[in-house]
Copies of this chain bind each other. A is one copy, B any other.
Amino acid sequence: MALRPHEPAAGGGGSARFADWLARTQDSVRDHVDEFVRVRCTAELDPAGFSVPAQLMIDFASGGKCVRSVFAYLGWLCGGVGESESALRAAASAELLHAFALVQDDVMDQSAVRRGRQAVHLRLAAWHADQGLSGSSARFGESAAILVADLYLVWAERMLRESGVTAAALDRAWPRYDSMRSELAVGQLADLCNDANRVPALGAVMDIARRKSGNYTVRRPLELGAAMADCDETVMGLLGEYGEAIGEAFQLRDDLLGVFGDSSITGKTTGDDVRERKATTVIALADQLAEPSDRARLRDLWTHEVIDERGVALAQAVITDCGARQRAEQMIGDRLEHARRLLAAAELEPSVADALYRMALLCTHRTH
């Protein structure tokens, strides 16, 4: 990779070099996704007369922060086999898989906003209405979004298969890739089975968070890249432990942002997790830490089918006052520190270890 030899994570020069490397890697990921979808895939949409969704699919898929692709590529770099455009293309396929997950989740959660714009199913519904087609535009939007997600899922795998990495590397990747995709769907199923009327238990929530979001965001992409590069068991073990810690911290941060995040930065409505009575770590922490009277108010709020602005403000106050917000920050800090120690003791190329640590910082201290 382009990073120079290791410097302490606090070092100013290393930070600038990492920022530069990250920006270039993200740009390359987006370019690969854009090119693959534009050149290889969107021709398949022509029979549906679907030029608008084609552009929408390209824009949406290359519009993320590329967290999963960057982790997958870092996993590859842990193998010590150096930079590779094929491996980067393989890593970039994670953006298409993520686009699949987001589009489908937004239909299920009936989310209105994603990546600072109208969610895909609503944009498709608007297209349906603009065209003056018959039937329910809302229903069309949801169905069309599910199909768009299907295409992302199929294209993601095709992009990985046609990335140019060797057949042996792919053979090592497939079992992990299949498990990751199953885990994603099963995690979402578990989420659906959560009882919205009850404030969730912390253990259960952490378990879902680990499997659904943490694994999928950090650990599995890292392992996928590392498997392609044929990393040994020691490195795989290290990345698994690092990935689990930072995946959990990522989810804790996400859950804090879901309650307190600034909508102009997150691209989602502030307090959405409260409004949707989601089973998140931060809510479960508050239920555990709050005084009996506050806990009762929180649990009562959770039985309401509709939660208004006052309800959101109440939940925010309870979560802050009982120390749950602080506790979540502390849990994030603990996990970051654990990852730092793991990386310090690991026999990785220093520049790669440094990048992993800085990615952990980014994932846990982000504002969106």
Q: Which A positions have Cβ atoms within 8 angstroms of B?
A: 41, 44-45, 47-50, 53, 104, 107-108, 131, 133-135, 140, 143-144, 146-147, 150-151, 153-155, 157-158, 161, 167, 174, 178-179, 181-183, 185-190, 192-193, 195-198, 207, 211
Q: Are A182 and B41 in contact, with the CB atoms below 8 A?
A: yes
Q: Are B45 and A186 in contact, with the CB atoms below 8 A?
A: yes
11 chain-A/chain-B pairs, Cβ below 8 angstroms: A44-B183, A45-B189, A47-B190, A134-B196, A134-B198, A135-B196, A140-B192, A144-B192, A147-B189, A147-B192, A154-B185
Contact of A185 among B140, B150, B161, B181 (CB under 8 A): B150
A135 to B189, CA, bound (A): 14
Closest Cβ neighbor of A104 among chain B residues: B146
A149 to chain B, nearest CB (A): 9
Closest Cβ neighbor of A41 among chain B residues: B182
Contact of A154 among B48, B178, B193 (CB under 8 A): B178
Q: Are A182 and B49 in contact, with the CB atoms below 8 A?
A: no
A333 to chain B, nearest CB (A): 28
A44 to B185, CA, bound (A): 10
A183 to B45, CA, bound (A): 8
Residues of B contacting A49 in the complex (Cβ-Cβ under 8 angstroms): 190, 193
Residues of B contacting A140 in the complex (Cβ-Cβ under 8 angstroms): 192
A128 to chain B, nearest CB (A): 8
Q: Are B151 and A182 in contact, with the CB atoms below 8 A?
A: yes
Q: Are B134 and A189 in contact, with the CB atoms below 8 A?
A: no
Closest Cβ neighbor of A178 among chain B residues: B158
Q: Are B190 and A108 in contact, with the CB atoms below 8 A?
A: no
Task: List the 3 closest pairs (A to B, CB-CB), nearest first.
Answer: A134-B197, A48-B190, A48-B189
A10 to B84, CA, bound (A): 61
A331 to B31, CA, bound (A): 48
Interface centre among A167, A174, A178 (most CB of B within 10 A): A178
A307 to chain B, nearest CB (A): 14
A195 to B44, CA, bound (A): 21
A158 to B174, CA, bound (A): 9
Residues of B contacting A188 in the complex (Cβ-Cβ under 8 angstroms): 147
Contacts A150-B153, A195-B133, A196-B134; A47 near B178 (Cβ below 8 A): no
Contacts A47-B187, A167-B167, A189-B147; A182 near B154 (Cβ below 8 A): yes
A44 to B189, CA, bound (A): 11
A157 to B157, CA, bound (A): 10
A110 to chain B, nearest CB (A): 9
